[in-house]
Amino acid sequence: VSVLYWLASHMARVAPRAVAETLPVLDVSGVFKAVVHPTPRPDDAPIARIDFAAIDRAVKSSDGGADADVRRVAQELADACERVGFFNVTGYPDRQLAVERSLDAAVREFFRLPEEEKLRIPMSKGGRAWRGYFPVGGELTSGKPDLKEGIYFGQELPSDHPAVARGVPLHGPNLFPERPAELGALVVEYMQHCALLGHVLMALLAA
């Protein structure tokens, strides 16, 4: 569910300014109940500017207007996907932005560590869960070593989780490094934010 979030947020970051300014904008300042504001394009075609507001109020509300808002934003999102193919996601809650900044700093700190320290959590220890660190050249693409290093994380699951016990691939505990000490908690919280946003967007796309 977080794939859509990564595509939406990171495509917006790398897109040229002129292109990014023409993309539909999803403002997730609250998350779920939405108010739509048309944003003009050079050709005067309206682009949905979607403001997600107060998910708890929308989900728990008995007011029929909440359902109407959800249907309306679902249609605006579908229109953005069908006409343009991309949209920006903005207005993240302050806590999510703080976690993202802290996670970015912690990951950079990890990759600055000596390689021998990073190799204390190699992917060979991650097993079927596919977790851990790999050095430059440690992964292959079309049989050729990649010129990158990386570290894989996933949903944090204990060893006694049913899926882990059955040996389901890509399920299991993460391999978090000793340094920086805060990296593990930041990864888990960030993934929770991604999952929530992904669920909301997928629900709207399926509406």
Contact (CB, 8 A) for 113 and 81 = no
Read off the pLDDT of each residue in 86-111 and give the average, rounded to a whole number.
85
Residue type, 23: L
Give the three-class secondary structure for 204.
helix
For 146, the token pair is 């990649």
Q: How confident is the model at residue 1 (pLDDT cuts 50, 70, 90)?
A: very low
What integer best gives the mean pLDDT of the chain? 76
Buried (b) or exposed (e) across 169-191, using 16+ Cβ within 10 A?
Answer: eebbbbbbbeebeebbebbebbb
For residue 107, the surrounding DSSP H or E stretch is helix 94-111
> Which pLDDT tens digit goes with each residue over 47-74?
555 555 534 444 445 455 567 767 777 7
> Which pLDDT tens digit goes with each residue over 35-48?
344 444 445 555 55
Q: What is d(CA 125, CA 115) in angstroms, rounded to the nearest whole number?
A: 16
Please tell me the pTM assigned to this model. 0.70
User: CB 101: neighbour CB atoms within 10 A?
Assistant: 11
Q: What is d(CA 138, CA 159) in angstroms, rounded to the nearest whole number?
A: 26
Strands 140-141 and 47-53: unpaired
Q: What is d(CA 155, CA 173) in angstroms, rounded to the nearest whole number?
A: 8
